[in-house]
């Protein structure tokens, strides 16, 4: 396996999984697995995408998740949070006009404050997950599917839904000098 071959495989898997979920546009940062920089260059790349695409929200892994050891997941979450602060500052990357993002939703969080019913999407979600063959053995894929099914049932039961996902949703103001964000 080479890095170039892995990039091709992962992009193909991502495209097929995205199609299964109704995603129409895919954007990729120019970093290899295991080499996503902590903030800096990654934040700048994300701010460029935010300013070009002008989303209302950003979805990212929670970088404050206790025991998360995958550095790319942590760096992605940190940079996404960082991006919400910088994307509306006119002197940061002044070649693109600023854009305000309303909120960030962190997934894989242990401190959720929002719960979304995913009953209608679960079948497509798990089917899409199974398309990432380069990231799972048959055994680990089955374990992941079983875990996600159990977790979504547990979260749903706790919040009056059949199946649900949990998110930590914060505004840009919560990400900058706010001592209360942990409790929101």
pLDDT digits (tens, 9 = 90+) for 134-143: 999 999 999 9
Per-residue tokens: 64: 């404050």
Per-residue tokens: 143: 């374990």
Q: Kindly give, in sequence order, each residue whose CB lies less than 8 Å from that of residue 149, ignoring residues fewer than 6 positions away.
A: 122, 126
In degrees and rounded to multiples of 5, residue 162 shows phi and psi of -70, -55
117-173: pLDDT as tens digits: 999 999 999 999 999 999 999 999 999 999 999 999 999 999 999 999 999 999 999
CA distance 114 to 108: 12
Q: Rounded to two decimals, what is the model's pTM?
A: 0.92
Distance in angstroms between the alpha carbons of the first and the last residue of the chain: 45
CA distance 103 to 81: 10
- Three-state secondary structure call for residue 52: helix
């Amino acid at each position: 396996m080479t890095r170039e071959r892995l990039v091709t495989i992962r992009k193909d898997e991502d495209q097929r999984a995205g199609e299964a979920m109704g995603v129409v546009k895919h954007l990729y940062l120019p970093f290899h697995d295991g080499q996503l920089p902590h903030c800096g260059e990654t934040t700048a790349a994300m701010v460029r995408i935010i300013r070009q695409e002008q989303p209302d929200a950003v979805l990212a892994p929670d970088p404050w998740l206790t025991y998360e050891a995958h550095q790319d997941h942590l760096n992605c979450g940190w940079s996404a949070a960082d991006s919400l602060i910088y994307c509306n500052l006119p002197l940061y990357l002044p070649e693109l006009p600023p854009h305000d993002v309303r909120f960030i939703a962190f997934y894989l969080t242990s401190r959720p404050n929002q719960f979304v019913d995913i009953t209608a999407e679960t079948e497509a979600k798990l089917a899409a997950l199974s398309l990432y063959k380069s990231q799972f053995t048959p055994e680990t894929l089955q374990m992941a599917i079983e875990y996600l099914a159990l977790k979504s049932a547990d979260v749903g039961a706790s919040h009056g839904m059949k199946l649900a996902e949990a998110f930590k949703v914060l505004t840009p103001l919560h990400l900058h000098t706010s001592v209360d964000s942990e409790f929101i």
